């Protein structure tokens, strides 16, 4: 995807009616089914998270797709918690998932839990046993694996495969009753041990797990496997299009086998490529490791690709939805540049965020010819992109803060900001000229002395003399001091799992070596204009010339404001990388 395509797609109006040609391949399948009258034109999708972690931006893609397709076709979407694995699931995750889906702007028609179907799933298993399609196998885990064969080698039938249905039924009921220990028996589908598709080699459908489940407690000590529970749950809910990611493509024959063998509603599985983004990763399990390892402050650390992390960072639901629309849906695995996500946020915030002045690394400026006690209230436009946002007053006085990086003692020719003897325009204010530089004993610049030209208010000099640079500033007397947190990519490599230069091995945990040590910078002495005093949690601003910032939703309080930088104005990372 080239840069042009990217920026052009920024202009797409999401409200444009889709044309047949613009339908993605899943939408085309759905349109085809509608046309042929399959399911009487009914469209019912589901979003089926496993409650074993917080949702990430990859899930957002799946959510947008499932809810989007249903909405576009007057259909419905279920939220279904795929909670068949009692070991890793928690109610905390269930709550956060519901919150995140709602926050993204979607409302499910029904909420279900796969664990609600434990009895039905059990009954279907008995049905498979009775019809000779499932058997209780007593091979241990290792034997089961070795009997399975390999990619080039057919598997071997389990010696228990020929147990008759009556014996199977008796054993299965006793498994359920808790008479056996974990691993002693499993229930397996009787399909084909020589199938080229490993998933079809008599897959396990029930295992004994003597563990409490987050909803069913200790009602059950046998639990269904994912492949078995998932397809049947879809069918029970009469899901028409069961959309999942590509790694389940080879599970589709099994998905179909269960529904056909049981002769129940024929939900259809359709696979698409997972979302991957540079400099981050999309795996709840791995993200949990970062949390447990204290590499981040929690699931909602603003560097995390989780929905709650993005929310805390200042992402809006609109920007995430627009991003998901722009990247499209395909069957090719790829990795999208993080710049796309950031661009989607910039595009949204440019329209909605009010402009403010904030100085992150302050340098004091004293305007020596400005009256000591004078304070002027200067007019400032809130948002040039939105006239209805109006104007505000910004106080100006004799002492100001400017950004340290806007001054150089020995500036090169192209540096159009402040330097000894140089003149610069203050945003909304006057022209000032640097007349003296004050240093401390260590030789560091601690203060600038300047003069101002009273004739230049509003940015023009009556004599027509020109200045090249305009810098932002905050009046010292009324400035608020705040903490600002600057974030960078969580991983320095585009692929977090890339062999790292430190170890040069591609170990499972190699991603820890690829963490970006400079992904968080905390600035505690930032100076902000006084109108930000009552900035409330979640509010978003553009600090002029710096980027977009939001009030942190956890650590900020009145009088102790904490801002997160959501995104810079331009993609400085790409620029830096090019320079390297």
Residue ranges in contact with ligand ATP by CB under 6 A: 48-50, 58-59, 61-62, 82, 244-245, 274-275, 282-285
Nearer to Mg ion, 115 or 492 (CB): 115
**Closer CB to ligand ATP, residue 61 or residue 76?**
61
Closer residue to ligand ATP, CB minimum distance, 275 or 359: 275
Query: Which residue is closest to ligand ATP by CB?
Result: 58
- Residue 429: name its binding partner from Mg ion, ligand ATP, none (Cβ under 5 to 8 Å by kind): none
Distance of alpha carbon 364 from alpha carbon 251, whole angstroms: 65
**Closest separation in Å from C-beta 293 to ligand ATP:** 17
Token output for 539: 């509010």
Q: How far is the CB of 177 from ligand ATP (least distance, A)?
A: 30
Least distance CB 55 / Mg ion (angstroms): 12
Is 286 known to be catalytic?
no
Residue ranges of E strands in 300-375: 354-356, 358-359, 362-367
DSSP structure string for 146-197? HHT-BTTB-----TTTT--HHHHHHHHHHHHTT-S-TTS-EEEE---TT-SS
Question: CA angle, corner 192, sides to 191 and 194, nearest 5?
Answer: 165
Parallel, antiparallel, or unpaired: how do β-strands 423-426 and 431-439 relate? antiparallel
How far is it, in rounded angstroms, from Cα 148 to Cα 210?
A: 26
**Residue of 426, 443, 424, 442 whose CA lies nearest to 434:** 424
Whichever of 274 and 352 has its CB closer to Mg ion, that residue is 274
| Nearest partner of 164 among 136, 123, 200, 201, judged by Cα | 136
Interaction partner, residue 61 (Mg ion, ligand ATP, none; CB < 5-8 Å by kind): ligand ATP
* Contact (Cβ atoms closer than 8 angstroms) between residue 106 and residue 324: no
* CA–CA gap between residue 175 and residue 113 (Å, rounded): 23
Going through 440-544 in order, the beta strands assigned E by DSSP cover: 445-453, 470-471, 473-475, 480-487, 520-528, 540-543
DSSP tag of 564: E
For residue 321, give the 3-state DSSP assignment: helix
CB of 282: closest distance to Mg ion in angstroms? 11
* CB closer to Mg ion out of 50 and 399: 50
State the nearest-atom distance from the C-beta of 58 to ligand ATP, in Å.
2
Residue 48 binding result from ligand ATP, Mg ion, none, given CB thresholds of 5 to 8 Å by partner type = ligand ATP
d(CA 427, CA 215): 59
Residue 561 near residue 528 (C-beta atoms within 8 A): yes
Q: How far is the CB of 81 from ligand ATP (least distance, A)?
A: 9
Q: Which residue in the shown chain puts its C-beta closest to Mg ion?
A: 50
CB 440, min distance to Mg ion, A: 57
d(CA 308, CA 248): 27
**Residue 49 binding: pick among ligand ATP, Mg ion, none (C-beta 5-8 Å cut-off by kind):** ligand ATP
- Has 50 been annotated as catalytic? yes
Residue 495 interface partner, choices Mg ion, ligand ATP, none, CB cut-off 5-8 Å depending on type: none
Nearer to Mg ion, 284 or 312 (CB): 284
Residue ranges binding Mg ion (CB under 5 A):
50
Nearest Cα neighbor of 409 from 420, 423, 401, 398 is 420
**Residue 212 annotated in active site:** no
Taking the least distance from each CB to ligand ATP, the nearer of 9 and 245 is 245
Contact 223, 205 (CB under 8 A): no
Q: Which is nearer to ligand ATP, 97 or 191 (CB)?
A: 97
Sign of CA dihedral 539, 542, 548, 549: negative
Backbone angles phi, psi at 132, to 5 degrees: 80, 20
Task: Catalytic residue, from 148, 188, 201, 284: name it.
Answer: 284
Whichever of 283 and 297 has its CB closer to Mg ion, that residue is 283
Q: Which does 59 bind (CB under 5 to 8 A by kind): Mg ion, ligand ATP, none?
A: ligand ATP
Q: How far is it, in rounded angstroms, from Cα 232 to Cα 260?
A: 10
Alpha-carbon span 168 to 186, nearest angstrom: 10
Q: Which residues contact 310 (CB under 8 A, 6 or more apart)?
A: 57, 302, 304, 320
Active-site position among 50, 167, 399, 447: 50
**Smallest distance from ligand ATP to CB 472, Å:** 39
- Pick from Mg ion, ligand ATP, none: which does 433 bind, CB < 5 to 8 A by kind? none
Q: In what order do the strands lie in the sheet with 473-475?
A: 470-471, 423-426, 431-439, 445-453, 362-367, 399-403, 473-475
CB of 215 to Mg ion, least distance (A): 18
Of 42, 88, 274, 364, the catalytic one is: 274
Which residues carry out catalysis?
50, 274, 284
């Amino acid at each position: 995807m080239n840069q042009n395509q990217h920026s052009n797609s920024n202009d797409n109006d999401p409200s444009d009616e889709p044309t047949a040609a613009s339908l993605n391949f899943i939408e085309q399948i759905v349109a085809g089914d509608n046309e042929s009258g399959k399911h009487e034109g009914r469209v019912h999708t589901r979003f089926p998270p496993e409650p074993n972690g917080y949702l990430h931006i990859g899930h957002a893609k799946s959510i947008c797709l499932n809810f989007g397709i249903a909405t576009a076709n007057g259909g419905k979407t279920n939220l279904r918690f795929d909670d068949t694995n009692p070991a890793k699931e928690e109610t905390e995750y269930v709550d956060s998932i519901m919150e995140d889906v709602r926050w993204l702007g979607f409302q499910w028609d029904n909420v279900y839990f796969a664990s609600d179907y434990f009895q039905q799933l059990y009954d279907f298993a008995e049905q498979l046993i009775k019809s000779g399609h499932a058997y209780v196998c007593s091979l241990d885990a290792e034997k089961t694996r070795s009997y399975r064969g390999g990619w080039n080698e057919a598997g071997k039938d389990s010696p228990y495969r020929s147990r008759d249905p009556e014996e199977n039924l008796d054993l299965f009921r006793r498994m359920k009753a808790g008479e056996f220990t974990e691993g002693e028996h499993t229930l397996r589908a009787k399909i084909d041990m020589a199938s080229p598709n490993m998933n079809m080699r008599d897959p396990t459908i029930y295992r004994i797990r003597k563990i409490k489940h987050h909803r069913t407690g200790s009602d059950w000590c046998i639990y269904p496997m994912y492949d078995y529970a998932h397809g049947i749950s879809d069918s029970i809910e009469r899901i028409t299009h069961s959309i999942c990611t590509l790694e389940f493509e080879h599970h589709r024959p099994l998905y179909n086998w269960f529904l056909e063998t049981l002769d129940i509603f024929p939900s259809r599985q359709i696979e698409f490529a997972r979302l991957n983004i540079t400099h981050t990763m999309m795996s709840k399990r791995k993200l949990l490791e970062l949390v447990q390892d204290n590499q981040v402050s929690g699931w909602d650390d603003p560097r995390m690709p989780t929905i709650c992390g993005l929310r805390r960072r200042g992402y809006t639901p609109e920007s995430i939805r627009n991003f998901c629309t722009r990247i499209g849906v395909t069957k090719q695995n790829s990795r999208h540049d993080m710049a796309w996500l950031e661009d989607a946020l910039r595009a949204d915030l440019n329209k909605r965020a009010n402009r403010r002045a904030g100085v992150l690394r302050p340098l004091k400026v004293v305007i020596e010819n400005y009256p000591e006690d004078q304070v002027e209230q200067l007019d400032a436009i809130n948002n040039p992109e939105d006239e209805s946002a109006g104007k505000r007053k910004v106080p100006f006085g004799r002492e100001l803060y400017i950004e340290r990086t806007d001054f150089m003692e020995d500036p090169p020719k192209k540096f159009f900001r402040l330097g000894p003897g140089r003149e610069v325009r203050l945003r909304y204010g006057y022209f000032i000229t640097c007349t003296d530089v004050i240093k401390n004993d260590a030789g560091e610049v601690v203060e600038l002395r300047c003069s101002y030209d009273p004739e230049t208010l509003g940015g023009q000099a009556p004599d027509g003399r020109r200045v090249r640079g305009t810098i932002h500033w905050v009046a010292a007397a009324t400035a608020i001091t705040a903490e600002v947190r600057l974030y960078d990519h969580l991983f320095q490599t585009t692929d977090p799992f890339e062999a790292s230069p430190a170890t040069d091995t591609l170990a499972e945990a190699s991603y820890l070596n690829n963490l970006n040590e400079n992904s968080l910078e905390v600035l505690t002495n930032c100076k902000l204009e006084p109108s930000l005093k009552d900035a409330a949690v979640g509010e978003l601003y553009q600090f002029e010339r710096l980027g977009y910032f939001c009030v942190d939703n956890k650590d900020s309080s009145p009088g102790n404001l904490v801002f997160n930088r959501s995104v810079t104005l331009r993609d400085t990372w790409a620029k830096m990388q090019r320079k390297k």
